[in-house]
Amino acid sequence: MNNVREKLYPWLAILRAKHMGSERAKKLESHFGSVEKALQASAQDIAAAPGFNADIAAAVKEAAQGKFDRQIENELAWAQKEGVSILLYTDPEFPFSLQHIPAPPALLYVKGKILPGDIIALGIVGPRQASDAGRRQAGNIACQLAEAGVTIISGLAWGIDASAHKGALRSKTGRTLAVMGNGLKIIYPREHTILADQIVKRGAVISELFYDVAPQGRNFPPRNRIISGLSLGVLIVEAGERSGALITAKYALEQGKEVFALPGSVDAETSKGTNKLIHDSSAMLVTSVEDILFELEDKITFYRNELEGKIPKVDITNFPARSKSIDAAPFSLDTDTRSPKSKKKISILVTQATEAAHPAADMLGGDEQIVYNLLSTEPKHIDILCRELNWPVSRVSSVLGLLEFKSFAERESGMRFRLKEE
Amino acid sequence: MNNVREKLYPWLAILRAKHMGSERAKKLESHFGSVEKALQASAQDIAAAPGFNADIAAAVKEAAQGKFDRQIENELAWAQKEGVSILLYTDPEFPFSLQHIPAPPALLYVKGKILPGDIIALGIVGPRQASDAGRRQAGNIACQLAEAGVTIISGLAWGIDASAHKGALRSKTGRTLAVMGNGLKIIYPREHTILADQIVKRGAVISELFYDVAPQGRNFPPRNRIISGLSLGVLIVEAGERSGALITAKYALEQGKEVFALPGSVDAETSKGTNKLIHDSSAMLVTSVEDILFELEDKITFYRNELEGKIPKVDITNFPARSKSIDAAPFSLDTDTRSPKSKKKISILVTQATEAAHPAADMLGGDEQIVYNLLSTEPKHIDILCRELNWPVSRVSSVLGLLEFKSFAERESGMRFRLKEE
């Protein structure tokens, strides 16, 4: 417990400071070298850090001076008693896919277990006020996918969420993760306490929020980015015109994940949002589990091979602090923040791929050359490129954009890219 | 009547010959210079024409020798009595949009009137066994579109077809055309006789078949190409997995028309086909009249301007026999079959557009140069290019494909093309 306490304490303290959140805390970590050092820094030095000011610095100093120690002790005691793991975003146990979204949470509270195989996951979301048909569809699809080895991720809410979790639990060995918009001390809605217990046995209940944070509306949209972040893709079963499920779709698109939607009658209020997503090409219309598995086939095969050791597993223990990439706009180019280890990996990949180099490839910049060499005439998903390069999706996406622009690469459906054939 | 008889007789005779259809008759017209001359040719000469043989030649000779004269006289008498016009595909009254599809019918029987404004038309189709909701949607959409000045085209069948016609008639001045899969002597289904009478007053009932051809299953699929051919786009309201409406969608795509579909619940049998069209990107999901009008806006504006004389009307009286284009595969390049008149028009257009010429435009072949000069950075629909050039869609499509391939043009949604920006 002492090691864990030592590692977590600075984060648990700094994140409780006023005006503070995962992104700001990671900025301080990056600026001062570690959160411990940030806490030890003078208020003046903190205020001078880019994006900070005297108010935030004062709040950090309060945290450094032990303002939250009692809350932290209570939380750590509660976590030990309840068997809740608190994962730091740099921990090897921290879900890989969530590490690679823009603005990953700094901490993740996990009751239950996230297994390596849970990387093969689909988010299933929809409104609380879902139709009976929608609930049934969510449950059936979740059950069939879970039987096919896909972990079902949702938000434990009434309606589609609950049906999706229950569907996964209905399958013999299906796994499911519930991402909460409140601290794990509370199960919300209360009526889903038993469902949450069942989920813990076949997956985990997860939150990025301190254990005693009550359910509040403003915490639910950011929660949705974790649902999509943990998933290879997201299925929107139903959505009214202003459904929160549309926020999940938006996050999923930003994260480069697949977005699927079930179509519905033009008369149905609960399909207005899903139909609009499909109309706007923001989601692919699917009508069956087969449709979904077909679209995810490349990714699933890739991760299955990795899990079975058929391809070398990416080493994430030396995962660098990615504060630059995190703050970058989705399509800006990052400077190189890779660790020496991952750099070496890339150079091997580059060497392997250089044989097929394009005659005009010397027209490309460094990053472009690297990504170019990983492409072939077979479409490859951006997620797989991210995984191969250990780059954040924003960086890979930006480079792919340049390659597309220069007519070296072309985009296929579903964020898959290939070399442009002459 | 005698002039009409003189013009039509050779076609009415040759088309009745065994093994003969519009395409073969047009081949003979093209080979011998006219259908009259084909009828006068020797069996040997006919059999020697490319794609013909002794059997067909014998059948043509029987027709030439008056085998069908009595039927023809009966038909002409019937047409006069019923006020049915028989249009030849080269007649100026023959609908322009139908002239430009692959394999247009050689003859069109029209009871009622096709007005120039009917070029602004949408096909609305769906199954006979439609849901109540589907019928209601078809009727409402047809009514609103008809009120917006869009002619509604359908097939007079039970279900969606009837609802679409009735919806158009419900609007004050709405127009609607019914394309039959049988000869106009028969109204099928009989229960739609009154509906057909109403349609004749506000549009026309149309067929490419001899007046006494009975309803037969095999005639319905080719009928569907006329529904889409007369339309700027087609809306599939519902479709089961094997619905005939899917054939209409297929024809519409081949003809370069917009295809729209209403989405439906994944549980509804009557939506399996429409959902699949959307899933396969063969149709655009629409949920309202606004969605449809938004997509057709460019075309409608173009034709409205033309109808109001704001842009010079394309002269179709010198419309050439387009047998070559008709037989060509959808993406092959045709040789130039334009009349001198239309050539002149193009050269004017080309002159106007040359100012904005691309520096590398001299890399383009003749046809490519012409189409290139008609493009700008604003997307333009392929139909408008066809209209401006008076070329069949297959030829324009093929040239656009080359321009896209050479990175001079790029395709936007819905068959619209624009210059590729550097």
d(CA A405, CA A400): 8
- pLDDT, tens digit (0-9, with 9 covering 90-100), for A24-61: 999 999 999 999 999 999 999 999 999 999 999 999 99
pLDDT above 90: percentage of residues in chain B: 68
Does residue A198 belong to any structural domain of this protein?
Answer: yes
> Taking CA atoms, what residue in A is nearest to B287?
A266
Based on the domain organization, do A110 and A202 belong to the same domain? yes
Based on the domain organization, do B246 and B376 belong to the same domain? no
Peptide bond just before B102 cis, omega within 30 deg:
no
A335 pLDDT band (50/70/90 cuts)? very low
Q: What is the pLDDT of residue A363?
A: 67
Does residue B88 belong to any structural domain of this protein?
Answer: no
Neighbour-count burial of B202, counting CB atoms closer than 10 A to its CB (0-12 exposed, 13-18 middle, 19+ buried): buried
| Token pair in block for residue A411 | 């985009």
pLDDT above 70: percentage of residues in chain A: 86
Q: Of A385-389, B294-298, B404-408, where does the model show the most confidence?
A: B294-298
- A85 SS3 class: strand
Based on the domain organization, do B219 and B355 belong to the same domain? no
Based on the domain organization, do A276 and A333 belong to the same domain? no
| Token pair in block for residue A194 | 């038993």
Q: What is the pLDDT of residue A369?
A: 81
The answer to whether the Cβ–Cβ distance between B275 and A287 falls below 8 Å is yes
Q: Where are the strands (E) in B74-187, listed by range? A: 84-88, 107-112, 121-125, 151-154, 176-179
| B278 CB within 8 Å of a chain A CB | yes
| Structural domain total, chain A | 3
Q: What is the pLDDT of residue A5?
A: 85
Tell me the nearest-neighbour CA distance from B84 into chain A, angstroms. Answer: 40
d(CA B247, CA B235): 12
Based on the domain organization, do B57 and B171 belong to the same domain? no
Rounded to 5, what percent of chain B is helix, strand, coil?
Answer: 50, 10, 35
CATH number of the domain that residue A168 is part of: 3.40.50.450
A229 pLDDT band (50/70/90 cuts)? very high
Contacts of A281 in chain B (CB under 8 A): 413
Does residue A262 belong to any structural domain of this protein?
Answer: yes
Contacts of B284 in chain A (CB under 8 A): 279
Does residue A319 belong to any structural domain of this protein?
Answer: no
Does residue A90 belong to any structural domain of this protein?
Answer: no
Average pLDDT, chain B: 86
What is the DSSP pairing of strand A176-179 with strand A203-207? parallel
Based on the domain organization, do A276 and A331 belong to the same domain? no
Q: What is the pLDDT of residue A251?
A: 94
B347 pLDDT above the threshold of 80 = no
Segment among A357-366, A386-395, B106-115 with least mean pLDDT: A357-366
ipTM of this complex? 0.70
d(CA B247, CA B223): 10
Rounded to 5, what percent of chain A is helix, strand, coil?
Answer: 50, 10, 40
A303 pLDDT above the threshold of 50 = yes
Based on the domain organization, do A133 and A281 belong to the same domain? yes
Q: What is the pLDDT of residue B126?
A: 96
pLDDT (average), residues B263-282: 96
| Token pair in block for residue A159 | 């309606």
Q: What is the pLDDT of residue B359?
A: 40
Contacts of A271 in chain B (CB under 8 A): 263, 265
Among the partner residues A265, A272, A285, nearest to B265 by beta-carbon distance: A265
B105 pLDDT above the threshold of 60 = yes
d(CA B1, CA A21): 87
Report the side by side order of strands in the sheet with A203-207: A84-88, A107-112, A203-207, A176-179, A151-154, A121-125, A233-236, A258-261, A284-285
Domain end residue (candidates: B307, B341, B365): B307
Contacts of A275 in chain B (CB under 8 A): 263, 285, 287
d(CA A7, CA A82): 20
| Disruptive mutation site among A136, A237, A266 for chain B (greatest number of B CBs within 10 Å) | A266
Tell me the nearest-neighbour CA distance from A262 into chain B, angstroms. Answer: 7
B311 pLDDT band (50/70/90 cuts)? confident
Assess contact for B324 and B337: CB atoms under 8 A: yes
Segments forming the whole domain that contains residue A53:
2-78
Residue found under tokens 């930006």? A398
Does residue B104 belong to any structural domain of this protein?
Answer: yes
CATH number of the domain that residue B370 is part of: 1.10.10.10
Q: What is the pLDDT of residue A422?
A: 52
- pLDDT, tens digit (0-9, with 9 covering 90-100), for B281-301: 999 999 999 999 999 999 999
Based on the domain organization, do A230 and A301 belong to the same domain? yes
Based on the domain organization, do B341 and B368 belong to the same domain? yes
Based on the domain organization, do A235 and A303 belong to the same domain? yes
Segment among A251-265, B116-130, B355-369 with least mean pLDDT: B355-369
- pLDDT, tens digit (0-9, with 9 covering 90-100), for B110-132: 999 999 999 999 999 999 999 99
pLDDT (average), residues A177-182: 97
Based on the domain organization, do A362 and A335 belong to the same domain? yes
Domain end residue (candidates: B54, B79, B104): B79
The answer to whether the Cβ–Cβ distance between A263 and B285 falls below 8 Å is yes
Contacts of A285 in chain B (CB under 8 A): 263, 275, 278-279, 285
Does residue A88 belong to any structural domain of this protein?
Answer: no
Tell me the nearest-neighbour CA distance from B119 into chain A, angstroms. Answer: 26
B323 pLDDT above the threshold of 80 = no
Based on the domain organization, do A145 and A289 belong to the same domain? yes
Does residue A313 belong to any structural domain of this protein?
Answer: no
A342 pLDDT above the threshold of 50 = no
Q: What is the pLDDT of residue A18?
A: 95
CATH number of the domain that residue B48 is part of: 1.10.150
